Amino acid sequence: MSSGAGPAPERVGVLGGTFDPIHVAHVVAAVSVRHALGLDRVVLVVAGDPWQKRGSVVASAADRLAMTRAAVEGLAGIEVSAIEVERTGPTYTIDTLRALAAANRELFLIVGSDVAAGLDSWHRAEEVRAAATLVVVSREHDEATVDGVGADGPAISGYAGAPLQVRIPRLDVSSSDVRRRVAAGEPIDGLVPEAVVRVLRERHLYTRS
């Protein structure tokens, strides 16, 4: 006899960014959150026209999309979406969450602790909070606290209406440093996935010329 209960909701993580370029810490964050929260999949959303970073993005949206796809190829449960690249006009997270929303689907918005601290400055911030559960990724030994979620708490903490926290290994790598290294002719092996290194070289990205 059927219990009448429907299927469990699909649990989908959403990790947005310029990915200029994507590096190993981005990949580790996606994989770690999926594992820690038991998500069905994590979608990396490449920003098309990020209004808060306008004028500071170096690679084109097409190049950043290609690098991100290369970075996660073969990783179970990790996908890449071009939804914001294909959308015309400024990139707003709330529009992306609305587009990804579906019946019987629960969304988890994945951000770093530095980004979460500035969430109130986002476009339609309260709607963003209502559209998805906020997941704050912090690095081991970080001291940042966001909405009562401290770095010295458990690996995952939170309750209804509050952010969850997932801690990842401390990886001191940033997109700006990768760009600087490429421009200076320094190696970036190990800082970005090998497939991304190939895309960078094939497309001559971040070089001085």
| Mean pLDDT estimate for the chain | 86
pLDDT at res. 182: 97
- β-partners of residue 46 are 17
pLDDT at res. 54: 62
Domains and CATH numbers, the chain: 10-172 (3.40.50.620)
Which one-letter amino acid corresponds to residue 177? D
Predicted confidence pLDDT, tens digits, the chain (209 residues): 445 567 899 999 999 999 999 999 999 999 999 999 999 999 999 998 765 566 678 999 999 999 999 999 999 999 999 999 998 877 789 999 999 999 999 999 999 988 877 777 788 888 998 999 999 999 876 654 444 443 333 344 443 357 899 999 989 999 999 999 999 999 999 999 999 999 999 999 999 75
pLDDT at res. 143: 54
Q: What is the pTM of this model?
A: 0.86
- Render pLDDT for 112-126 as a digit per residue (tens, 0 to 9): 988 877 777 788 888
E strand segments, the chain: 10-17, 41-46, 78-81, 105-112, 133-139, 145-146, 149-150, 164-168
Q: What is the CA radius of gyration of the chain?
A: 18
Q: Which two tokens stand for residue 5?
A: 């209960």
Closest CA to 111 of 80, 87, 138: 138
